Chain A
């Protein structure tokens, strides 16, 4: 068996071990590779940073535990920035399993920045029906959320007192891993003209570049890399920044394996080897 055939027949579990080592080693021995801030994340930061103290910001954390790896550090970073700027955050989620995560993100950021529930932020919790909720907030916030997550009427909460629609909010921030972002663009921005900043998973990020170009969104934070950039901009070290060494090493491993696999396939074909009809299948079974 030639080396090329051996490479193409490699047990996938060896690749899993390589990736596991690529993740664990940089976490245990970080080298702190530099993180460059992209214009998209800088634009999101600048848009929030430009808001005057006391401005009301609606933050919708539309995600569940499956993608919290990317969006939870992003939520904490954005919230810490808002609290440092003394913005008043009205937080909510459109996902039932997002209630626990949203509340945890608020508590984590509030503890770090000394923010206080109801004085600096309000937690409205979950409400079902994407578009209905978005349109409802544009017309009558209290129609959608008569009380907050803890059962307190909105008029009794200083943060939400006098706020009943997007027009009383300086900005909408949506952190999402789903089509909820499309609807925020369509309704909050398109219909009610609310300034909108978006944070999303890395998989989704390329889908939203056109909206940046058309200025339908003011900034875009994509995936763990975007969250790490945001953490750098607010000068904190969170889970996203801590994970970027591992991210870089695993990308290197994946790129080398892709190149190695292609070279081996090319060599095996040139040598006229019988690849059994599934040269790549042996790597991906």
Chain B
């Protein structure tokens, strides 16, 4: 099918960058940026502006939707240097609402729930060893990031142990990152070998 050939051609154009920068890569890059921008604009128009503004306004006569519409249009005033002050009103409104929504949720889910879990009694057996390691990691990493005291004495020992916990965490993250990037390559090679060249079973 023609779309498979186009996708394969564009995939090879992007892969050609691995050899060196070239016009095929730049063509694919520019095509992607342009088509993605157009696609996103169309989706936003049909999924946001039409159902949330146009339909309530024209069919229901709901004038309240003009308020968020006006705030949104005020944001666009940033395009002109003289209109930056107008845009700040919208941004202030957005920051205020967002903070009110986000801060309680963040505190509850990412601070209190995690603190409660860290303060739980350690279970017996191997799970207890895991819990102890997590607790030591928590305390020592916090010690490392506590800069109001010099990293000397007991505090320094804790901070040094914290560095080892951080290194283990970074190593695990790096391993997962390699896996993620390889997964992207595998997917593209699967596409080329199966959908384009038909060398793999469907």
Task: List, in ascending order, chain A residues with CB within 8 A of B193's CB.
Answer: 24, 27-28
Confirm or deny: B22 has a beta carbon within 8 angstroms of a beta carbon on chain A: no
Confirm or deny: B4 has a beta carbon within 8 angstroms of a beta carbon on chain A: no
Docked complex Cα distance between A189 and B113 (Å): 11
Contact A202–B176 (Cβ < 8 Å)? yes
Contact A201–B40 (Cβ < 8 Å)? no
A72, chain B: closest CB distance, angstroms = 8
**Nearest CB to that of A225 among chain B residues?**
B179
Confirm or deny: B2 has a beta carbon within 8 angstroms of a beta carbon on chain A: no
Contact A247–B182 (Cβ < 8 Å)? yes
Contact A96–B44 (Cβ < 8 Å)? yes
Q: Report the contact-size class of chain A (Cβ under 8 Å from the partner).
A: 35 or more
Contact B36–A97 (Cβ < 8 Å)? yes
Docked complex Cα distance between A214 and B187 (Å): 34
A residues sitting closer than 8 Å to B (CB atoms) are: 13, 16, 19-20, 23-24, 27-28, 66-70, 96-97, 99, 125-128, 131-132, 135, 146-147, 182-183, 185-187, 189-191, 201-203, 205-206, 210, 213-216, 222-225, 239, 242-243, 246-247, 250-251, 254
Task: List, in ascending order, chain A residues with CB within 8 A of B106's CB.
Answer: 186
Contact A243–B186 (Cβ < 8 Å)? yes
Q: Report the contact-size class of chain B (Cβ under 8 Å from the partner).
A: 35 or more
Interface set, chain B 156-180, CB cutoff 8 A to A: 169, 172-173, 176-180
Name the contact of A69 in the complex, choosing from B36, B40, B117, B187 (C-beta under 8 A): B187
Contact A243–B187 (Cβ < 8 Å)? yes
Task: List, in ascending order, chain A residues with CB within 8 A of B179's CB.
Answer: 202, 223-225, 247, 251
**Nearest CB to that of A239 among chain B residues?**
B190
Contact A243–B183 (Cβ < 8 Å)? yes
**Nearest CB to that of B44 among chain A residues?**
A96
Docked complex Cα distance between A213 and B101 (Å): 26
